[in-house]
Structure 1
């Protein structure tokens, strides 16, 4: 009788343990991306393809560069990723090359056109697209979730970024405050609006962005809009600068007339236009520009 009772208790214990292990295994790891789609794994992904430079940089900032097995053609930081296979761009990725890398997950922008195709081929996809400072902080946390990295690490990284942006603002002399700035992200022209991560950094530096939040994060502008706004300083990357001052009426803009333009070389422009862990460096580059060019 005693043996039977003990066996019964043992069976109950083992059954309970099996249910517990099964539920943990079933739960595994899950992340809900910017589409609202929940993606699940049994264990943190070890083979990652990134199709967005800011996401590549985020993976590496979290100390997980070694998990990357392929990146887009524009990812170029840190230097250790330059040896990785290139699988096209975010808009025109080489799907066959991605599949051949056997990734556990593909990180890409929500606006990418290949999300459904990759999923139809059985790949797990996480779509993330930061546009503001809050988005950068959120995406940092999401990528950490995918990687299975401790949340404290992401909090520490974000605190360092935030503190460095504040330090860049405090480094500026009073004369810079309220300088009217135009930041061009693409020669179409597309400008960085007040609600974008670039615009939010400019606001924290204490200057005025001529592109209002009402136009959206990165609106396409009529060149005449910039002429009428007459900014004191223009910021633009070298790859987008050609022909800018030749646009109709632009020689009358104060920033052009008084040569108050900051034309950033490509390596610095990359830092400025990527919403990721190098935002602190971007703030320092903008502050340097304002110290040198603000009236």
Structure 2
């Protein structure tokens, strides 16, 4: 089911990254004009293109479909099953990957191929990824512009919601949709960028346990938490065949939940909604407007 694959991959990446955080490779120390770059995750592909390095990218992975130019590039496999042969055949001078791909990094280093290992688990990590790639490739000016745009979005939303009571919210990131009832729902926990975006948007996560990195809850668990708003993230709109009306009906079976009674169930469908790259910050003003629709969201330029 295509609705679940990007978020299952996100969950897998997050768990691996957390476990291997202490083993992150230090950034390469010298700036070089790398001309043959391979990126091994959609978020890194997006970041590299956003920095103006698209012409230097010689390959990506299967689901790297943004920007559109990336779709025309050769694929070296999936995030969890990249082909060492395909990578080496393209003779890259730099392979950029996330720190859940440690085994592949070690294999490439043994072959003398330079690697850059990064972490995109949090907002700070995403910003640091932009800076690190830019410093390594001489794209500091582009990074400054990109990071300033991101900060402008954060500052704008923060200025709107700073003195307003936060809305108790549950953020769903994956669940089975071909059923009349909700079963297990993966949700944003306290350790990911969804939780940070939610707090910046004027919400507060109803899931407060800090021990579980990628929590899953039952319908009964959601009833107990009783959120006042529910944001259900449905990325890859063009791929999944799910009926959004059916998804709303699933949530409506939880009749005692405040969000259901108040008709505050929101579906977010964007191709970037599970990709922790520069575009993920576009979720911030959208989440803020959903949670606080009575505010004036017109920008005064």
With the shorter chain as reference, the TM-score category is 0.7 to 0.9
Partner of 2:173: 185
Q: Aligned in 2, Cα 1:228/1:42: closer, same or farther, shift over 3 Å?
A: closer
1:261 equivalent in alignment to 2:292: no
* 1:167 Cα deviation from its structure 2 partner: 1.6
C-alpha contact (below 8 Å) 2:201/2:285 kept by paired residues: no
**Are the equivalent residues in 2 in contact too, given 1:230–1:254 (CA < 8 A)?**
yes
**Which stretch of structure 1 is more off in the superposition, 60-69 or 188-197?**
188-197
Does residue 1:108 correspond to 2:121, yes or no? no
Contact 1:224-1:249 at 8 Å conserved across structures: no
Check the 8 A contact 1:131/1:275 in 2, yes or no.
yes
The CA distance in 2 between the partners of 1:201 and 1:42, in whole Å, is 32
Q: Distance in 1 between matches of 2:126 and 2:220?
A: 32
Aligned to 2:232: 236
SS at match of 1:272: coil
> Secondary structure of the equivalent of 1:46?
coil
* Distance verdict in 2 for CA 1:121–1:205, change over 3 Å: same
Q: Could you say which structure has the higher helix fraction? A: 1
Q: Alpha-carbon deviation of 1:137?
A: 1.6
Q: CA deviation at 1:50?
A: 0.8
Instruction: Classify the secondary structure of the residue corresponding to 2:272.
Output: helix
> What is the aligned-residue RMSD (CA, Å)?
3.2
For 1:131 and 1:216, how far apart are their aligned partners in 2?
A: 15
Are residue 215 (structure 1) and residue 211 (structure 2) matched?
Answer: yes
Classify 1:130/1:63 alpha carbon distance in 2 versus 1 (closer, same or farther; 3 Å). Answer: same
User: How far 1:172 moved relative to its partner?
Assistant: 6.0
| Structure 1 residues 249 and 126, CA gap change in structure 2 (3 angstroms) | same
CA distance in 2, matches of 1:293, 1:91: 43
CA distance in 2, matches of 1:173, 1:89: 41
SS in 2 for 1:89: coil
Please say if residues 46 and 67 of structure 2, whose CA atoms lie closer than 8 Å, have aligned partners that are also in contact.
yes
Higher alpha-carbon deviation: 228-237 or 255-264: 255-264
Secondary structure at the aligned position of 2:150 is classed as helix
The offset of 1:134, in angstroms, is: 1.4
Q: Tell me the CA shift for residue 115 of structure 1.
A: 2.5
Instruction: Give the structure 1 partner of residue 19 of structure 2.
Output: none
How many residues are paired up?
257
Query: Which of the numbers 86, 90, 110 marks the counterpart of 1:97?
Result: 86
Structure 1 residues not aligned, in runs of 5+: 1-32
1:164 to 145, 153, 178: 153
Using CA pairs under 8 Å that are at least 6 residues apart, name the structure with larger relative contact order, 1 or 2: 2
Partner secondary structure for residue 225 of structure 1: helix
- The answer to whether the 8 Å contact 2:168/2:228 transfers is yes
- 1:83 and 2:72 are equivalent in the alignment: yes
Which is greater in Rg? 1
Instruction: Compare 116-125 and 248-257 and name the one that shifted more.
Output: 248-257
Which range moved further: 256-265 or 73-82?
256-265
Kept in 1: contact 2:39–2:96 (CA 8 A): yes
**Secondary structure class of the residue paired with 1:278:** helix
TM-score by length of 1: 0.74
Pairwise CA distance, 1:39? 4.1
Aligned to 2:278: 277
CA 280–39 in structure 1, closer or farther in 2 if over 3 Å, else same: closer
- Structure 1 residue 224 displacement after superposition: 3.6
Cα deviation for residue 218 of structure 1 reads: 3.2
